[in-house]
Amino acid sequence: MATTRTRSAGSGTITVLNPQGYPPRITAAPMAPRLDGLDGKTVYLVDPRFDDSGIFLKQLQACFEEHLPRVTTRYVQMRSVYTRDDPETWEEIKANGDAAIIGVGH
């Protein structure tokens, strides 16, 4: 087996197979429209519960309260580990929120 070759067009060249798999077809999902402004809006702060992300988001929440007091922030935790989808939380945000920040990722 070690000496087998597929000769190709040029002398001394060989042809080999591509080792990569097949990527999926991607259909773009549009981003949600951005807000005109944040005054009077409700922004969810979604905690994936990874590497102390909750402590970080509460500091972000404090910053909103100090500098953007007309924005309502709601801190929520994902209902399990970040590797699992959480449709209940997404539905809650759609029903009661205007925007969401998810963090911290890695």
Partner 1 sequence: MPQARYVFVPQPVMGKSPRELRGYVDGKDPVTGRPVMQEIIEGLTVPVETDLRGITFERLTPRLVEPGTEENLHRLFRENNWTDQLPIILPTEERVAAMLACTSRKPGEVVGHMRPTAFREVWEYTVEKVAVNAVMSGARPEYFPVILALAASEASARGSTTSSAAAMAVVNGPVRHEIGMNSGIGALGPYNHANATIGRAYGLLSQNLQGGSEPGLTYMGSSGNNYSYNSVTFAENEERSPWEALHVQHGFRPSDSAVSVFGGCRSTAFTLGLPEKHWREHVRNMLRGMDAHSAPTLLLDPITARQFIDRGGFDTKEKLIRWVYENALMPADEYWDYQLIQNYIYPRATFGEEPYASRLKAAPDELIHMFTPEEVQVVVVGGETNGYWRIMGAPYRTTVSVDQWR
Pick out residues in 36-95 that bind partner 1 (CB under 8 A). Answer: 36-38, 43, 49-53, 55-56, 58-60, 62-63, 67-68, 77-83
Report which of 79, 41, 76, 73 is spatially closest to residue 60, judged by C-alpha positions: 73
CA–CA dist 46, 53 (Å, integer): 9
Using an 8 Å Cβ cutoff, are 101 and 60 in contact? yes
Asked if 104 interacts with partner 1 (CB under 8 A), we say yes
Site residues (vs partner 1, CB under 8 A): 1-2, 4-6, 8-10, 12-31, 33-38, 43, 49-53, 55-56, 58-60, 62-63, 67-68, 77-83, 99, 101, 103-104, 106
